[in-house]
């Protein structure tokens, strides 16, 4: 099963707006994606409540996993998203 590990770049971590952007992007993927922190249990990446329950702060390394057609592309897209500061991108004057 393909996996990608990435540090959360958003200043507020995977909370509020960055979590919403990530969950919506995960829901648009053509394959189910899961996310976990460390050796914790993976949760559905397309579930806002599940993603918020991870408590991923700025700099936390998370692992994305998926299987099936398009898994590598889905992971690459979502890893790139998590590697950006989504707080700064939506701020006035950014």
Of 15, 25, 54, 66, which one is the catalytic site residue? 15
Q: Tell me, yes or no, if 58 is annotated catalytic.
A: no
CA-CA distance, 74 to 26, in Å (whole number)? Answer: 8
Distances (CA, A) of 54 to 29, 67, 68, 69: 20, 21, 24, 26
Residues designated as active site? 15
């Amino acid at each position: 099963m393909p996996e990608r590990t990435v540090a959360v770049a958003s200043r507020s971590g995977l909370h509020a707006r960055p979590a919403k952007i990530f969950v919506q992007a995960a829901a648009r993927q053509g394959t189910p994606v899961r996310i976990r922190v460390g050796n914790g249990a993976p949760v559905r990446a397309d579930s806002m409540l599940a993603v918020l329950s991870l408590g991923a702060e700025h700099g936390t390394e998370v692992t994305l996993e998926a299987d099936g057609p398009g898994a590598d592309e889905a992971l690459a897209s979502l890893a790139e998203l998590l590697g950006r500061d989504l707080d700064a991108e939506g701020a006035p004057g950014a």
